[in-house]
Amino acid sequence: MAQKEVKGRIASVKNIQKITRAMEMVAAARLRKAEQRIEELRPYASAIRRMTRQAAEAAQGIPRLPILAPRETEQTVGILLFTGDRGLAGAFNSQIVRAGIRAGADYRAQGKKVRYYAAGRRGVSSLRFRNQEPAGAYEGFTDRPTYADARAIAAELMVAYVDGDVDRVEVFYNRYVSPLVQVVTRETLLPLNQASIMEDGEGADAGQAAAGAGQAVSHNGHRALTEYEPDPADILERLVPSYVEISIFRSLLESTSSEHGARMTAMRNASENAGELIKDLTLQANRERQAAITQEIMEVVSGAESLV
């Protein structure tokens, strides 16, 4: 009887292992795609940077846009959490929610108001569970976010900032390092840091930026011939907000990579655990089978003995 039960458990653990193995493989494939998409964003982002530098030079500076202006007093802080639509990814979702809630509590302790925004069903439902109704909930795309998704979030946050509903916006997301490591990252999105617009970008971008600067020098003679439609200052008025969009898109992609990486690791661990469980259960099944055989032999022997 016990034997049958153990066999049933082995079968069900094996089924679970099949599922976790499949999920691991799916996550690995999606991770590769997500990493590729971070790469594909790079040329666009550096082209936007180059154009901004060119327009800013022509306009002799960056115009004073509302999204660049810090508030004198911060009454309300917007906190945007990047989570996933699904769970089963280790600490991926919970560590973001925890960090965001803690930051919100700190701001409230300072007497400020907090408005939460969340991308990903997990973040939205965690906030609701804690009675923190998000001012903006963005769901259904965290597996494969598009730029249009990022644009929609950016538009809503910039409207909230410019129209005075929030005086600062911070974002929390998992920065992807490797399938084993995702780092909770906290950044200020708004007001947009003016210095970050003109800087040459970090690491890999630096070489390209230097080349771009060289180009600017060699083209110096033709600068006057460039036609601007409309004025460079007006062009900047649209170029600068695209930094906010790109920043949100990058966070979404980082978060997606992290999610798939975390799920891959979680599922690999689950598969390994299932393997160990199967080994233990098989051992137990064998032991019980042997005990049953021994029992039967003893019964046969004692039966035979009684006949003699």
Partner 1 sequence: MARTPFRVEVLTPEGEVFNEEVEMVSTHTSVGSVGILANHQPMLAMLDPTELRIHRAEGEVLSFAQGEGFLQVGASHALLLVDEVRTPQSLDAADLRERVRAAQDRVTQAQEGSEEHRSARREERRYGAWLKLLEGAGGH
Binds partner 1 (CB under 8 A): choice among 10, 55, 190, 262: 55
| Count of positions (residues) in the chain | 308
Binding mask 198-227 for partner 1 (x = CB under 8 A): ------------------------x--xxx
Count interface residues toward partner 1 (CB under 8 A).
39
CB atoms inside a 10 Å sphere around CB 143: 15
State in angstroms the smallest separation of the CB of 186 from partner 1.
23
Binds partner 1 (CB under 8 A): choice among 16, 28, 48, 69: 48
Interaction of residue 242 with partner 1, rule CB under 8 A: yes
Query: Locate tokens 């998409």: which residue?
Result: 37
SS3 readout for 102-152: HHHHHHHHCCCEEEEEEECHHHHHHHHHCCCCCCEEECCCCCCCCHHHHHH
State in angstroms the smallest separation of the CB of 52 from partner 1.
10
Query: Locate tokens 């979680």: which residue?
Result: 266
Q: How far apart are the first and last CA of the chain?
A: 32
For partner 1, give the closer residue by CB, 11 or 148: 148
State in angstroms the smallest separation of the CB of 17 from partner 1.
36
Binds partner 1 (CB under 8 A): choice among 105, 228, 269, 299: 228
Alpha-carbon dihedral of residues 145, 257, 255, 268, nearest 10 degrees?
Answer: 120
Interaction of residue 54 with partner 1, rule CB under 8 A: yes
Interaction of residue 47 with partner 1, rule CB under 8 A: yes
Compute CA distances 171 → 99, 163, 187, 197, whole Å.
10, 19, 5, 18
**Binding positions for partner 1, 61-120, rule CB under 8 A:** 66
Provide the b/e sequence for 253-277 (b: ≥16 CB within 10 Å). Answer: bbbbbbbbbbbbbbbbebbeebeeb
For partner 1, give the closer residue by CB, 8 or 66: 66
Amino acid present at 205? D
Burial of 117 by CB count in 10 Å (0-12 exposed, 13-18 middle, 19+ buried)?
buried
For partner 1, give the closer residue by CB, 97 or 235: 235
Segment interacting with partner 1 (CB under 8 A) among 18-26, 69-77, 135-143, 238-246: 238-246
CA proximity to 179, closest of 88, 288, 262, 239 = 262
Binding mask 135-154 for partner 1 (x = CB under 8 A): -----------xxx-xx---
State in angstroms the smallest separation of the CB of 245 from partner 1.
7
Segment interacting with partner 1 (CB under 8 A) among 42-50, 95-103, 120-128, 282-290: 42-50
The answer to whether 128 and 91 have CB atoms below 8 angstroms apart is: no
Compute CA distances 136 → 2, 127, 153, whole Å.
54, 11, 8
Binding mask 245-284 for partner 1 (x = CB under 8 A): xx--x-----------------------------------
List of residues contacting partner 1 (CB under 8 A): 37, 40-41, 43-45, 47-48, 51, 54-55, 58, 66, 146-148, 150-151, 155, 158-159, 162-163, 222, 225-230, 232, 234-235, 238-239, 242, 245-246, 249
